[in-house]
Amino acid sequence: MEKHELEKKIRDIPGFPKAGIIFKDITPLLLDTKSFKQAIDIMADYYKDKNITSIVSAEARGFIFGGALAYKLGVGFIPARKPGKLPYKTIRQEYELEYGTDALEIHEDAIKFGDRVLIVDDVIATGGTTAAQAKLIEKMGGEVAGICFLVELAFLNPLEKLKGYDVFSLIICDK
Ligand code: AMP
């Protein structure tokens, strides 16, 4: 199965969760055992020799890809969660939304100086969530060794917020 075959497993839902958004529904890809495996295998192939020490992903859909890839690469997994969800001491990073701000937290002992951390998510739209995770990793002395997405909404120019990082997207959407 080729990369462009994976794209056929992403379902566009216009108007969800609000008018003007075309939601990229990844659940058909997850349901298809060949496609989900293929997606994780392509990611693992790209990162297998890059000395990754751990993966950070944001709740909730990021966990699906980040968790599977961490297992495949044999590295640690670090959940980035909305405020108040993690039980131990946390480090927080706020980020801008279209209206207002939100924040992500990770456990303060999850990353140590010199760790080579990979950020993984299902979809990158504006890039705000990813940029917040990059700041968290760097605040804690880690290095952002790569950033990986199943789907990049290129028409929103998310990479503007991620200049200087190595970004790998399996599916690039121009509209
Ligand atoms: P971002 O705007 O890059 O910070 O995206 C925030 C999160 O929302 C990402 O982790 C995606 O999972 C999700 N997201 C944003 N836009 C879409 C979309 N059009 N389709 C599916 N998921 C989206």
Instruction: Give me the tens of pLDDT residue by residue for the chain, a chain 175 residues long.
Output: 566 789 999 999 999 999 999 999 999 999 999 999 999 999 999 999 999 999 999 999 999 999 999 999 999 999 999 999 999 999 999 999 877 899 999 999 999 999 999 999 999 999 999 999 999 999 999 999 999 999 999 999 999 999 999 999 999 999 8
From 7, 11, 61, 92, active-site residue: 61
- CA 140 – CA 112 distance, rounded (Å): 6
Q: What is the pLDDT of residue 99?
A: 79
The response to whether residue 23 sits with its C-beta less than 6 Å from ligand 1 reads: yes
Q: Are 106 and 56 in contact (CB under 8 A)?
A: yes
Which atom in ligand 1 lies closest to the alpha carbon of residue 58?
A: 10
Length of the chain: 175
Reading the block at residue 39, the tokens are 């997606």
Nearest alpha carbon to residue 53 among 77, 86, 33, 36: 77
Q: For residue 170, how far is its CA from the centre of ligand 1 (angstroms)?
A: 15
Question: Which domains are present in the chain?
Answer: 49-173 (3.40.50.2020)
The response to whether residue 67 sits with its C-beta less than 6 Å from ligand 1 reads: no
- Concerning whether 81 is annotated as a catalytic residue, the answer is no
Which residues are bridge partners to 156 per DSSP?
none
